[in-house]
A and B are shown apart, each in its own frame.
Chain A
Amino acid sequence: MISKQQKNKGIVFTSISIIEGFLVILVVALLLWFSLSRIMEIHVSVEENLNERHSIILANALISNENIAYIKDGKILRGVLDAEKLDKLFIKKSDFLSNIKLLTNDVDLGISYPNSIIIVLVLDLEKCSNNDCDGWIVRLRSLSSLSGISLLNFMDCLNSNIKVDVGTIFRFFLAPPLGGLWQPWDIDKCVKNNIPPSFKSFFNKNRISSQGFPILIKYKDSIHAGRIFVGLGEFI
C-alpha cells in the first residue's frame, strides 16, 4: 500500500517536473518574443553598392528621357537617343578639347540624384578610329541641400586634373583598365581638399554600369550603335 502511494508520488513528481520544464521553455519563448517585438529596436542595414545601383537606375532613366531620346509619333523609343538633341544639350568631343571648363556648366534633363556629381557620356561606336570614338559628354544638374561644400572648387580641381587625351578617356569607357577621365589619386586629392569624408565616388569603379549600357543613336538618315555611361559621386 505504502509502496503504491510512493509510486504515484513519483509519477506526480515527474509530471510536475515536465510541466515545470515546459513552463520554463514557454516563459523563455515569451520573453524572447516580447523583447524582439516590443522592446528591442531592429535596424536594417543592407550591404550594397549604392552608387552602382543609382548609376544603373539613372542610365535606364536617361535612355527613356524625352529630352535626349528619339520620339516618333509622340512615342518615346526607349534606348534610341536623338543625335540632334544630344548636339544641343551635350558637349561634343571636339568642343570638349577646346572647352575644358565643361564640368562647371551643368545641364538639367529633369532627372538626377540630389547632392551628387553626375557625368554622362554617350559614345558612337560606329564612329571610331584608333580606339577613339566620337561622342558627347555632360554633367547633370544636381540639387544640393548640403551646406559647406565647395562644389565649384571641387569641379575646378577635377577640371585641372582632367586628361586632355580624349582617346585615352574614351578608351577607358571601352576598356576600363586602361585609364580614366581622372586618375584615382586625382579624384582623391580633389575630394580630400574640397569635399567632406562622406563623399562616395563611382568614377573609377570597374563594375556593371562603368561598362555602359547599349543604345542606338538616331541621326537624320541613319542609326548607329552606341553606349551610354554614367559616372556618379554622391555625398551620403
Chain B
Amino acid sequence: MQENVWKGLAASDTIGILLVILTTIFFLVYILPTLFSTIIETLARSSPENVARQVSSLISSSTISTFESRIEYSPGKDKEYKIEIFDRIVKVGIKSKLAYAEKTESKKPILIDLSYKGEDVNTFIISKKFEGVSSYDFKATKK
C-alpha cells in the first residue's frame, strides 16, 4: 500500500517535471528567439547608427528630385534624439535613461550644405524646392 503511494508520488512528480521541460523547450524554441529578435530589431531600428544612416541617405536622395519634394522620417515615437548637421555631416545621438548611452552617437556624410541643431526630436522632415536654384530645408520635431 505504502509502495503504491510512493509510486503515485513519483509518477506525478515525473509528469510535473516533464511539463516544465516541455514548457522550457517551447519557450527556448519559439518564444525566446521571437522575444530576442523583437528586442534587437526595435533597438537596432531606433539606434543612432541607423537613424543617422537613414537621415543622411534621405537628405542626399532629396537632391535627386527635380521639382519639389518632402520626405518625413520617424524612427520611433517613444524615442528621442539629438541631431546636428554641419560641414555636410549628420550627427545623431539618442536620449537615454542611462548616462553612458547618451554618449552613443553616429556621424554620416551628406551631399548638400545644411545647418541644423535640435534636441528631443523623433521626426525628421527634409524638403527640396527648385525655382531656378535648388533650395533645401531640414526640420526635426517631436511627435
Chain B residues within an 8 Å CB radius of A111: 63, 111-112
Q: Interface with B: A5-13, A84-92, A130-138, which one?
A: A5-13
Q: Which residue of B lies closest to A45 (CB)?
A: B49
Is the CB–CB distance between B88 and A114 below 8 Å? Answer: yes
Q: Which residue of A lies closest to B106 (CB)?
A: A44
Q: Interface with B: A58-66, A121-129, A190-198, A221-229, which one?
A: A58-66
Is the CB–CB distance between B112 and A44 below 8 Å? Answer: no
- Size of the B side of the interface (Cβ < 8 Å), in residues, is 53
Q: Which residue of A lies closest to B43 (CB)?
A: A42
Minimum CB–CB distance for A79 against chain B, Å = 10
Tell me, yes or no, whether B71 is within 8 Å of chain A by CB: no
Is the CB–CB distance between A57 and B87 below 8 Å? Answer: no
Residues facing B in A142-189 (CB within 8 A) are: 143, 145
Is the CB–CB distance between A61 and B40 below 8 Å? Answer: no
Which of B16, B53, B61, B100 has the most CB atoms of chain A within a 10 A radius of its CB? B16
Is the CB–CB distance between A41 and B20 below 8 Å? Answer: no
A43→B87 CA distance, assembly (Å): 25
Q: Which residue of B lies closest to A5 (CB)?
A: B5
Tell me, yes or no, whether B141 is within 8 Å of chain A by CB: no
CB-contact partner of A21 in B8, B23, B109, under 8 A:
B23
Tell me, yes or no, whether A199 is within 8 Å of chain B by CB: no
Q: Which residue of A lies closest to B12 (CB)?
A: A14
* Cβ proximity bits B109-131 to A, threshold 8 Å, 1 near / 0 not: 11111000000000000000011
* Cβ proximity bits B18-34 to A, threshold 8 Å, 1 near / 0 not: 01100110010001100
Is the CB–CB distance between B111 and A61 below 8 Å? Answer: yes
Chain A residues within an 8 Å CB radius of B40: 36, 42
Q: Which residue of A lies closest to B96 (CB)?
A: A41
Is the CB–CB distance between B47 and A32 below 8 Å? Answer: no
Is the CB–CB distance between B109 and A114 below 8 Å? Answer: yes
Is the CB–CB distance between B44 and A74 below 8 Å? Answer: no
Residues facing A in B1-58 (CB within 8 A) are: 1-2, 4-5, 8-9, 12-13, 15-17, 19-20, 23-24, 27, 31-32, 35-36, 39-40, 43-44, 47, 49-50, 53, 57
A198→B60 CA distance, assembly (Å): 23
* Contact A61 to B9, CB < 8 A, known contacts A66-B134, A112-B111: no
Minimum CB–CB distance for A10 against chain B, Å = 4
Is the CB–CB distance between B49 and A21 below 8 Å? Answer: no
CB-contact partner of B16 in A3, A18, A60, under 8 A:
A18
Is the CB–CB distance between B63 and A14 below 8 Å? Answer: no
CB-contact partner of A110 in B36, B66, B134, under 8 A:
B134
Residues facing B in A72-119 (CB within 8 A) are: 74-78, 110-116
Q: Which residue of A lies closest to B47 (CB)?
A: A44
Q: Which residue of B lies closest to A234 (CB)?
A: B109
Is the CB–CB distance between B23 and A57 below 8 Å? Answer: no
Chain A residues within an 8 Å CB radius of B63: 61, 64-65, 111
Is the CB–CB distance between B23 and A25 below 8 Å? Answer: yes
Is the CB–CB distance between B23 and A36 below 8 Å? Answer: no
Is the CB–CB distance between B35 and A32 below 8 Å? Answer: yes
* Contact A10 to B19, CB < 8 A, known contacts A33-B39, A64-B64: no
Is the CB–CB distance between A14 and B16 below 8 Å? Answer: yes
Is the CB–CB distance between B134 and A14 below 8 Å? Answer: no
Residues facing B in A28-48 (CB within 8 A) are: 29, 32-33, 36-38, 41-46
